[in-house]
Structure 1
Amino acid sequence: MKVIVLFVFVLGALSAAGEDFFAKVGGKVTLNCGVSSYRHTLQWHHGTDVVFNVDQRGFTRKGLVELARRSVVRQNNLEISSVRETDAGEFKCLADGTRHEHSLSLFSVLVSVKPSAVLKLNGEATLQCEVIGQHHGCEVEWRRLNTYLPSNTSTVQLKPVKTSHNGPWLCFVTCGRNTFIERLAIKVQEPPTTTTPPSTPKNVTFVTSV
């Protein structure tokens, strides 16, 4: 009896594990391809759009998408400037037939203080650090030198406001191995000191008799 063994070959690019990248809207981000070198071709895709195509001579051709005009390939990695919300999504780096799939999540950070950035001594205030967008569970906390703050504090209550609260406050947003910092300047205004003006002598009229 003859045994016929069929081998089925699937043609296509090999896949390698990718990374999850994070960036702030308006900032800059570098997506690592996952390879240090290639022999023939290197391609970067955003979804189904071609962003860059680099041949074995190092000649680079940009894609027709708007993202390509804000990007550059450095050492096989894709560097994106002036990041926009539309840049979020899936990216692929194809190096000699090996596909490295990555994702880019974007967010915005809004720092605020109520009632205003100029606070009155002994008053009350609330500091808020809000992450807006696809942050996937990023940790948010306020930090300040020489001041103890509980961890994971996106909101800080200043009650009462002290002179030591004056100056810069830092909001740290940690997403995986990436950390982003937003600054907030606070000015504590002390009440004006009241002083008693010196008394001025009244006009005195002397009457002399002759």
Structure 2
Amino acid sequence: MKIVLRPLAFGVLLSLAACSSPPVRYHTLVSPALPVSPTSPVPFVIEMLPVGVPAQLDTQNVIIRSGNSSIAVLDNDRWLSPLGDELQTALSTQITQRLGTQDVAGLAREEDKPVVRILVQVRRFDSWPGNFARLDAHWSLSTRQGEERRRIVCSSHLIQNTTGDYTQLFAAWQDLLARMSAQITTTAIRWSASGTGTCPS
């Protein structure tokens, strides 16, 4: 009986090993390389509002382009949080570091310090391994001082060529978000100081 059971048990273990799924890999859009803090922090705080993304992309699964009209949902590669949350965290981290200020979203505010609200709506979050990563977004800055309200609406259209397989896309996405946060930061500084400003070209 023992002689029969041992090979049988060994065969069951081999079957279980063959059926086990590969491990899930988690990714983040928050870059480990933060920009240098400014020498003179700005005299305002920011409120980074939730980032809007197309409904079909607001998931934890990483979605990439696999052809001109086809996409692939990577079951074993996922964002650390839903895509909209990842974008909000990454942009908040970059912008506060560049401005030398604080994101007061969800916190009590200082009444004597202006708040610049940042709203971002992503229109296109496209990636094609070995080809490009692309980010199209509209964003606005708004502030209120007493009865006065001011607002500026801009957009970012960014693309970065990529090589290699899909694993190279994550660094490209971090770079694109760093570029967009730089555009938002520069606009916020000029606009808050003068009351007028122009969007990045």
Q: Would the TM-score normalized by the shorter structure come out above 0.5?
A: no
TM class, shorter-length: under 0.3
Q: Radius of gyration: which is bigger?
A: 1
More helix by share: 2
Q: Which protein, 1 or 2, shows the higher relative CO under an 8 Å CA cutoff with sep ≥ 6?
A: 2
